[in-house]
Amino acid sequence: MAHTHKRVYNFSAGPAMLPTEVLERAREEMLDWNGSGMSVMEMSHRGKEYVSIAEKAEADLRKLMAIPDHYKVLFLQGGASAQFAMVPMNLLRGKTSADYLNTGHWSEKAVAEGKRYCNVNIIADTKGSKYTTLPDASELSFSKDAAYVHYTPNETIAGVEFGYIPDTGDIPLVADMSSTILSRPVDVSKFGVIYAGAQKNIGPAGLTIAIVREDLIGETLPGTPTMFDYKIHADNGSMYNTPPTYAWYIAGLVFEHLLAKGGLAAMAEINKRKAQKLYDAIDNSPFYSNPVDPKCRSWMNVPFILANSELDKTFLKEAEAAGLSTLAGHRSVGGMRASIYNAMPEAGVDALVDFMNDFARRHG
């Protein structure tokens, strides 16, 4: 390369950072993938080259997450937001109600969409705490007639994360894992459906992954659009229509990269350490605070506020100048938010902590 690139530590909640190694590999393969003479973007999704890319990505994801054979892995579009509708359309299966845990902004969206298709029982609601807490496992009880239970293991905006998987017995458990998938090992067999938009912790925007237990596939609500039927995608290897081919390819490179790094157990160790360093920096300074109950703090999204909010703009400006980008909090909560997904190097968190300490010294 004739020129070098300056990469910042990008704390965006999504689309978020991708591993530099993955981007470099994509650059190398950009004009000519593996001697094909084509960019992956230019390939037929039905050609043997692309099919090999797609199959490897799925196999690597199965290995990474230890996905049991009786689950389908679907590579879809429409984002997690489309899953808010696709879940009830496919999982009601003759029933008329479902249980939802309302623990934040994204739960609210899932609930609102669910209500278009069924009776939604809100079996836990933490809105009263401004979504800074989560229910204990012992506080949850599920409705006998619920077709499924839906929850959001990590709420990206308020920064709360469940430390346990709700035990719903025979009722299928559905998880919107958009902002925590691949951050640590998870027992897939505890879930009916896991879904995630790719742009947080998987790959580029445009791809949505759904991991669906096979027995939940095949019965949809009357009027369900073909594209919203899990069965159509399962039966066609996620190639009923043209899939988001390039995003799927990059996701595959990320899976390969994570396997080479030691898989999700290794990621969990690093992620836990990164989060701890940042929360320690916040808790140990009177200058910063995080409102979330310490036992449900997210490893992935860390909101924090400055004691003096008049310094917010200066903080953001100086951070940007120090190569620490996209730290503004969500517009609904203000303050700051550092999203520290897998691709955020530990050195990025160290740099943020150093910056925060220095900023507090100069302005405190």
Ligand X SMILES: *Cc1c(COP(=O)(O)O)cnc(C)c1O
Q: Is 200 a catalytic residue?
A: yes
What's the min distance (Å) between Cβ of 159 and ligand X? 11
In this structure, is the dihedral angle defined by the CA atoms of residues 234, 236, 242 and 245, taken in order, positive or negative?
A: positive
Interface with ligand X, residue 329, by CB under 6 A: no
Which 69-98 positions form the footprint of ligand X (CB under 6 A)?
A: 79-81
Sketch the per residue contact string, 199 through 228, with ligand X: x for CB under 6 A, - otherwise: -x----------------------------
Question: Within a 10 A sphere around the Cβ of 222, how many other Cβ atoms?
Answer: 5
| Main-chain phi, psi angles of 99, to 5 degrees | -95, 140
Interface with ligand X, residue 176, by CB under 6 A: yes
Q: Six-digit token pair at 4?
A: 């070098």
Selected binder of ligand X within 156, 238, 298, 342 (CB under 6 A) = 156
In this structure, is the dihedral angle defined by the CA atoms of residues 90, 96, 99 and 100, taken in order, positive or negative?
A: positive
Total of residues contacting ligand X (CB under 6 A): 12
| CB-nearer residue toward ligand X: 156 or 183 | 156
Q: Which residues pair with 97 in a beta bridge?
A: 119
What's the min distance (Å) between Cβ of 301 and ligand X? 8
| CB-nearer residue toward ligand X: 166 or 197 | 197
Given 176, 229, 248, 299, which residue is catalytic? 176
Q: Is 140 exposed, middle or buried (0-12, 13-18, 19+ CB in 10 A)?
A: middle
CA distances to 53, 67, 74, 232, 305 from 214, in Å: 24, 12, 11, 13, 44
SS3 195: strand
Interface with ligand X, residue 106, by CB under 6 A: yes
DSSP H stretches of helix in 261-345: 263-283, 312-321
Please answer whether residues 348 and 327 qualify as being in contact, where contact means their C-beta atoms are separated by less than 8 angstroms: no
Selected binder of ligand X within 103, 126, 132, 152 (CB under 6 A) = 152
Q: Is 106 a catalytic residue?
A: yes
Secondary-structure percent of the chain, ordered helix, strand, coil, rounded to 5: 40, 15, 45
| CB-nearer residue toward ligand X: 244 or 285 | 244
286: CB partners within 8 A, 6+ apart: 307, 364
What's the min distance (Å) between Cβ of 46 and ligand X? 26
What's the min distance (Å) between Cβ of 196 and ligand X? 8
Interface with ligand X, residue 178, by CB under 6 A: yes
Q: Which stretch binds ligand X (CB under 6 A): 113-121, 134-142, 176-184, 328-336?
A: 176-184
Interface with ligand X, residue 161, by CB under 6 A: no
Binding-site ranges for ligand X (CB under 6 A): 14, 79-81, 106, 152, 156, 176, 178-179, 197, 200
